[in-house]
Structure 1
Amino acid sequence: MARRNAKKILVILSEYGYWGEELVGPLHHFDQRGYQVDFATPTGKRAHALPPSMDPEYIDPPLGRSVTSEEVARLTRRLDDSDRLDDPIDISAWLPERPYTSDDDYLRKLEAYHRALSVVEQELEAYDALLLVGGSGPIVDLGNNERVHELILAFLRADKPIAAECYGVTALAFARDWEDRASIISGKHITGHCKEYDYKAGTGFLGTDFVMGPPPYPLEYILRDATGPDGRYIGNFGKETSVIVDYPFITGRSTPDSYLTGEKIVEVLEDGLRRYGW
């Protein structure tokens, strides 16, 4: 049960599979604090954990070892079997879609689009932070999702914490003001899935039979370019964990960073943490 006047977190999940620990880890810290958590997915479909993230015997190819403990596998299965993730917020119904410039009556439609966005921004006042959970699924439906970008931009304008893990960090790189097209993480210190951790084969997506080779993009390169000359991508390859706080952004590199990411989100909200890991 949420405590009185508890913080409220909006968590965005992919409909093509999230990595179990990357949700279980932050939720552990949110639940300990009695935070209220609302879940959202791109079209309102229920999110599910990727099967390898519930299998402690699955060997992660780049690391050459299991990345899922028996305890995390159990917690992920319990969450996946529960009704907690049922009936997520439908982002496609919540946020408007920007019209094409080729649409008839484009100017009026654009004005209506911005009016609808202002309503959403008022509704977001109830939330204290945003979290985008990682896994392979976000490659498909979060990274280049304009509605997700608008949510991120709304939290940014409200000066509220924005957290992302693993491939969920991609959406931060691509969230940009429509006028100048500059990434919102330009000049910031950010971590995310480093090149050494990318699969050479076997990147899969829940709900499909499609399994590809490496991911369709190297996230590290995108983040290096997006942070620009005044910021920095920090991979921390060779170190067990990599979590970076450069307010308002909290970013976690991959699965082993999940619990630490949740811990730092809480410290940002409760203790005013503004910088960590660089």
Structure 2
Amino acid sequence: MSKKILCVLSEYGYWGEELVGPLEEADAAGYETVFITPTGKRAHALPPSAKAGYFDPPLKKVVTDEYYAAKTREIDASPRLDNPISLKDWFPERPYFNDQNFGHELVAYHKKREECWDQLAEYDALLMVGGSGPLIDMVNNQRLHDMVLGFLKLNKLIIAECYAVTILAFARDWSERKSIISGRHVTGHALEYDYKDGTGVLGIDANFGPPFFPLEYILRDATAPNGQYHGGVGHERSTILDYPFLTGRSTQDSKLVGQLMVKVLEEGLDRYGW
């Protein structure tokens, strides 16, 4: 039986180390990583994550070292990320409520989604890489939400890093609309480490200022009342496993996220960090 991980990358830029860390661990453990993007366009790394010595304003420290910058450039220049799967061509779009044939279209949508969920059985885990790009085309992507729900239905490992953790708060069954991480333990970008200015993405020439939302607040609400958001402020890493959810706060967690991913898949680990 083949060992496969499905990895989602933003077409507006991913953070290099957040791909390299898990990818290296997956490679070493003999897992094939299959790449998918929202519309099938090739993904590229955010430039700061490929530049050694990049200084992060909130952390007041360099967050891109020589090794990960070089590995990011190496992967970005290789054909490995060429020809990704198109999420748009795979999963169906939910119809608008006021569409003329909404009832029939909704039945067709649910039928197609079930077929897509069945196809996820060949993968062992879903990995959603962070960075600022996911804010544009992953966080509020209905098709990606449905993919997450499919992995959840199959009780398979779901991994999210940095701002990609937001997807877990928004991926909800359209009928019930309940948070899938209610009562769960997760981490994600802490308020103390959010930019106040300078948020940017690939392909759009703009300074968005601060990120589009304070992720910490969203995760605190989404995990309530019996779960918990773990910021890990003041600690180098914050990595939380509450199976099937494995979350990493930021780029510094990337290697550990990869190591835990392998331990979950190979050894059945189901809890870490809380």
Q: Normalising TM by the smaller chain, what interval?
A: over 0.9
Shift of 1:65: 1.2
Report if the CA contact (8 A) 1:6-1:34 is conserved: no
The answer to whether the 8 Å contact 1:96/1:117 transfers is yes
Name the CA distance, whole Å, in 2 between partners of 1:222 and 1:25. Answer: 26
- Tell me which residue corresponds to 2:92: 96
Q: Deviations over 1:5-26 (max 9, x none)?
A: 3421000010000000000000
TM-superposed deviation, 1:126: 0.4
CA distance in 2, matches of 1:100, 1:265: 37
Equivalents in 2 of 1:124, 1:21: separation in Å?
Answer: 26
Give the aligned partner of residue 245 of structure 2: 249
Summarize the alignment of residues 1-278 of structure 1 with structure 2, pairs less than 5 Å apart. 5-278=1-274
Stretches of 4+ moved more than 2 A in 1? none
Pairwise CA distance, 1:105 = 1.3
CA deviation profile, 1:49-91 (whole Å, cap 9, x unmatched): 0000011121000111111110110000000000000011100
User: CA separation in 2, counterparts of 1:96 and 1:232?
Assistant: 32
Deviations 1:135-176 (Å, cap 9, x if unpaired)? 000111111100000000000000000000000000000001
1:171-211 Cα deviation digits (max 9, x unpaired) = 00000111221111110000000001101110001011011
Q: Unaligned 5+ residue runs, structure 1?
A: none
The amino acid of 2:165's aligned partner reads: V
Equivalent residue letter for 1:117: R
Measured after TM superposition, the shift of residue 235 of structure 1 is: 0.5
Q: Secondary structure at the match of 1:163?
A: strand
Identity percentage of aligned residues: 60
TM, length-normalised to structure 1: 0.97
5+ unaligned residues in a row in structure 2: which ranges?
A: none
Q: Deviations over 1:230-267 (max 9, x none)?
A: 00000000011110000000000000000000111111
CA distance in 1, matches of 2:158, 2:187: 13
Provide the rounded CA distance (Å) in 2 between the counterparts of 1:183 and 1:143. 14
- In the alignment of these two chains, the number of paired residues is 274
Q: Deviations over 1:97-134 (max 9, x none)?
A: 00011001111111111111121112111001001000
Q: Aligned partners of 1:66 and 1:79: how far apart in 2? A: 21
In structure 1, C-alpha distance between the alignment counterparts of 2:204 and 2:99, rounded to whole Å = 33
